Every structure is written in structure tokens, then in C-alpha cells.
Amino acid sequence: MSAYQHILIGLDLSTESQQIIQRVKTLFAQSSAKRSLCHVLEPISYTYGGDVPIDLTGIQNEIETQARRRLAEVGAELGIAPADQHIAIGQPAHEMHKLAKQLDVDLIAVGSHGRHGLALLFGSTSNSVLHGANCDVLAIRVKEPDEE
């Protein structure tokens, strides 16, 4: 029996996400734990602070469509059903915490870039997920292309 019953895998869908996918496959290959995928999109209006006087809905919808396609590819690779693939819009750590509670998740797996200096001071998604989670968090070290 697995130590975990339900694992939420948080991905940013960057090229580095493949490292997280491979690590999850390796670590939980023999596990019977249910797996769910999550990708959180920050609203474009957050980026521009509402200062752009145009409707960005079409762009936001296209970004979401592309994210759903990519998440479906990852889901197929990991054998995760479409019903267990989630796209949320908002602040990544907050949305992952909310989804983890809704799904009764007992482990959240996220990538960590190992930031230093000012980037560490301002925080990271994995750090925010860790400090607000009501379950275990597995931070998977993501290597930059020049580190491999």
C-alpha cells in the first residue's frame, strides 16, 4: 500500500516540467495512489494591472486552450484521466491549496528552481505551496539547461 492516496502534480508546463514528470513517474511507478494534474494560469490582467484599455479575454482564452492541450498530453503520458486534469486561474500557490483541499490530496508535487539572492527573497511558487499546504509537499529540484 502506498504512503499517499492522492497526489496533486503542479506543473507550469514549461520545458522544465518534463523533469518533474519523469521524477513523478520514477518515484510513484509502483504506487496505487490516485494522481491529478494541475496548471494555474495567472490572469493577464494581473500582469498589466488593468492598465491596458483593451479586452484581453480572447488572449486569455487562447492561453487556456493551449494549456489544456499540453496538460492533456502530460495526462496521457502519465495515464491520468481528463477528469483529473485541472486548469485554474489565479495565484498558483493559492489555487493549488484550494484544489488540494477540494480533492482531498495528501501530497502536492511541484518543481523548485533553487533560486538564490533576490529571487529567493521574493519567494517562489514551490515555497508558497509549502508554507500554506495542509498536506505534504514534494519539491522536485528542476535543473536549468546549463546545469545538466
Task: Evaluate if residue 24 carries a pLDDT over 50.
Answer: yes
Q: Are 61 and 86 in contact (CB under 8 A)?
A: no
Mean pLDDT lowest among 4-13, 46-55, 80-89: 46-55
* Amino acid occupying residue 63: I
Strand-strand pairing, 6-10 and 107-112? parallel
CATH superfamily placement of domain 6-143 = HUPs (3.40.50.620)
pTM to 2 decimal places: 0.83
Compute and round to an integer the Cα radius of gyration of the chain. Answer: 16
SS (H, E, C) the chain: CCCCCEEEEECCCCCCHHHHHHHHHHHCCCCCCEEEEEEEECCHHHHHCCCCCCCCHHHHHHHHHHHHHHHHHHHHHHCCCHHHEEEEECCHHHHHHHHHHHHCCCEEEEEECCCCHHHHHHCCHHHHHHHHCCCEEEEEECCCHHHC
Closest residue by Cα to residue 34 from 6, 2, 75, 1: 6
Which pLDDT value is given to residue 103? 97
Which pLDDT value is given to residue 125? 74
* Amino acid occupying residue 84: D
Give me the residue spans of the domains in the chain: 6-143
Task: Evaluate if residue 15 carries a pLDDT over 90.
Answer: no
Residue 83 CA neighbour count, 13 Å, CB half: 2
Using pLDDT thresholds of 50, 70 and 90, give the confidence band for residue 115.
Answer: very low
| Segment 71-82, tens digit of pLDDT | 999 999 999 999
Which pLDDT value is given to residue 145? 62
Mean pLDDT lowest among 53-57, 94-98, 114-118: 114-118
Task: Evaluate if residue 65 carries a pLDDT over 90.
Answer: yes
